[in-house]
A and B are shown apart, each in its own frame.
Chain A
Amino acid sequence: MTHTLGRPDFDVIAAWVEPGHRVLDLGCGDGTLLKYLIDSRGVRGVGVEIDDANVLAAIKNGINIIQGNLECGLDEFADQAFDHVVLSRTLQTVRHTEGILREMLRVGREAVVSFPNFAYWKNLRSVLDGRMPVSEDLPYQWYDSPNVRFFTLLDFEDLCTKMGLIIRERSILDEAGNPVECTESRDVNFLGSLAVYRLTRNR
């Protein structure tokens, strides 16, 4: 299966975003996802990024990019300014997990979060074999990884419950980026390499 821009989670996210929506992409890198959503879905987009080279690349891509540190909150954004706030493959690099999730649902109606599932069976096997996992979705060595939080799909769902966040939809992908076609959470937790969630909260 081929995926948009080589990122299977982008396909899932794009399918959840409606034309004309206002989208905030946190940790947007060079703005590839936003550019795709702007071009293909006609959204109005803003990205947040901390890295200088990515900020420069995003400006080259013609993206509205705000340089900033997600750990410091999203002060420059007003309440409910966006339809979707996206955090793709970044939650595991953020120290203030609850803080960023709260901020996402303050500035946006819906939060879209994708992250690598550490309980994916290949990752578990790797640890049983005595090695930290390195895979398509966890492409780093332990000593150069930007990841600071290691959690599973079930762990994440527990946190959502604790924080009163509502899971509107979830899409779980295997290492090839294909959807995992079962519904039992324990099985999904074992078979999914990358998790994509659509969250909201009671208002």
Chain B
Amino acid sequence: MPGQSVGAVKSQRAHFDQPLHLRSGGILPAYDLVYETYGTLNAAKSNAILVCHALSGHHHVAGHYADQPDNIGWWDNIIGPGRPLDTDKFFIVGLNNLGGCHGSTGPSSANPATGKPWGADFPMVAVIDWVHAQARLADQLGIDSWAAVMGGSLGGMQALRWSITYPERVRNAIVIAAAPKLSAQNIAFNDVARQAILTDPDFHGGHYYEHNTRPLRGLRLARMFGHITYLSDDQMGEKFGRELRNSAFSFGFGVEFEVESYLRYQGDKFAGYFDANTYLLMTKALDYFDPSREDNGDLKATMARSKANFLIASFTTDWRFTPARSKEIVAALLANGRNVSYAEISLNFGHDSFLMDDAHYHGVVDAYLRNIKL
């Protein structure tokens, strides 16, 4: 990996007193957003890039904490001096979205009305709500317009939403491994994951905090299931095949195949730190995402409101959001005469490819960003 890490970083917290009216009709009277920044905002404040996170991401995008050298940001491989999001040129902002469980106001935060955790009473948040909240963070940071808004998967959807809702504030949108809206199959996957959580006896209608318990079994199952859809069949075949943990079948229901061991480990790890209510909210935000709904399903009309230049990228083995889904966005942009480039990247890691350190993939992002005029 060329370039360097940004090194030790610190999280910051921004407080917002102005109520946020949400798409669901709910209102957040006040809220906090935790965020991190890397690099230096230039005097013209023209070099800022917003990196939006996906389903399980957060504000710790790059670098490590001084007291936790192993706690490395989730997209560290693309950010730093000499890396595609070059901190010698750009000022990078990452945040934890509303409804999250990494410090920003979410279901596990205290509801000011009751003093108890919001739990299931936390209002449903949509991608457009996140974008409005991110815009207020930009205001606080003095950033009128982003050099780029960028993200993979659900993060890419936020970049797309930014370009539609705040066309004057986004000069470039980098939308990776995303889709203009979820398919029935995508929604079905999400619902099975939600059902695993909702039917866990420890869920208590979302108010499990008060019962000093957490729906760990449901969250673990949701993650195991989701994880399968983020990988490719080929990759699982290469990584695990039909390898057994022991040499012979045990004819039982314990962990036998390596792939079972891996998935259970991933499920346990995730359930250990993630909040089930946040998982429910994030999957619903995905399901509801469909900017073209404002134009009776005409994505071309929706993208007519955008003014940004676009880089759209997809991965050949991504079956969660296939290249064809990215091409729907490309077609809508071309129909509006927008500047758009589209790369279909051959990588073997399914939907998760967007997080991988691959020379061609990173080369494409690097080349695009190097041409951005500040």
Contacts and interface: CB of A to CB of B under 8 A. Distances in A.
Interface of A: 22, 44, 46, 52, 55-56, 58-60, 62-68, 75-78, 81
A58 B341 CA distance: 9
B258 interface: no
Contacts of B345: 52
A67 to B, nearest CB: 5
B344 interface: yes
**A-B CB proximity, top 8 nearest:** A76-B331, A59-B367, A60-B367, A67-B344, A66-B342, A65-B341, A62-B371, A78-B335
A180 B175 CA distance: 49
B367 A56 contact: yes
B343 interface: yes
Contacts of B334: 46, 66, 76-78, 81
Contact of B331 (A52, A64, A75): A75
Interface in B67-112: none
A65 B360 contact: no
B343 A55 contact: yes
Interface of B: 311, 327, 330-331, 334-335, 337, 339-346, 360, 363-364, 367-368, 370-371
Contacts, number: 54
Contacts of B330: 66, 76
A67 B340 contact: no
B42 to A, nearest CB: 22
B368 A59 contact: yes
24 contacts: A52-B345, A52-B346, A52-B360, A55-B364, A56-B360, A58-B341, A59-B343, A59-B371, A60-B370, A60-B371, A64-B341, A65-B341, A66-B340, A66-B341, A66-B342, A68-B342, A75-B327, A75-B331, A76-B327, A76-B330, A76-B331, A77-B331, A77-B334, A81-B335
B343 A67 contact: yes
Q: Determine which residue in B331, B335, B341 has the highest number of CB atoms from chain A within 10 A of its CB, and name it.
A: B341
Nearest to A66: B342
Contacts of A58: 341
A3 B328 CA distance: 39
Contacts of B344: 67-68
Contacts of B363: 56
A65 B342 contact: yes
A52 B327 CA distance: 17
Contacts of A65: 341-343
B331 A59 contact: no
B360 A59 contact: no
B299 to A, nearest CB: 12
A64 B339 contact: yes
Contacts of A77: 331, 334
Nearest to A67: B344
B270 to A, nearest CB: 33
A199 B287 CA distance: 46
B300 to A, nearest CB: 8
B317 to A, nearest CB: 15
Nearest to B369: A59
Contacts of A76: 327, 330-331, 334
B163 to A, nearest CB: 16
B84 to A, nearest CB: 12
Nearest to B337: A44
Q: Determine which residue in A44, A68, A76, A78 has the highest number of CB atoms from chain B within 10 A of its CB, and name it.
A: A76
A56 B311 CA distance: 12
A55 B370 CA distance: 15
Contacts of A81: 334-335
Contacts of B327: 75-76
A63 B340 CA distance: 9
Q: Determine which residue in A52, A60, A62, A67 has the highest number of CB atoms from chain B within 10 A of its CB, and name it.
A: A67
A66 B311 CA distance: 10
A49 to B, nearest CB: 10
A67 B334 CA distance: 13
B53 to A, nearest CB: 25
A191 B367 CA distance: 43
Nearest to B313: A67
Contacts of A62: 371
Contacts of B360: 52, 56
A67 B342 contact: yes
Nearest to B345: A52
Contacts of A46: 334
A65 B364 CA distance: 11
Nearest to A44: B337
A59 B363 CA distance: 10
Contacts of B339: 64
Nearest to B327: A76
A60 B371 CA distance: 7
A22 B368 CA distance: 22
Contact of B364 (A56, A63, A66): A56
B340 A59 contact: no
A120 to B, nearest CB: 36
Nearest to B338: A64
Nearest to B346: A52
A81 B331 CA distance: 11
A199 to B, nearest CB: 22
Contacts of A22: 337
A136 B218 CA distance: 66
Contacts of A56: 360, 363-364, 367
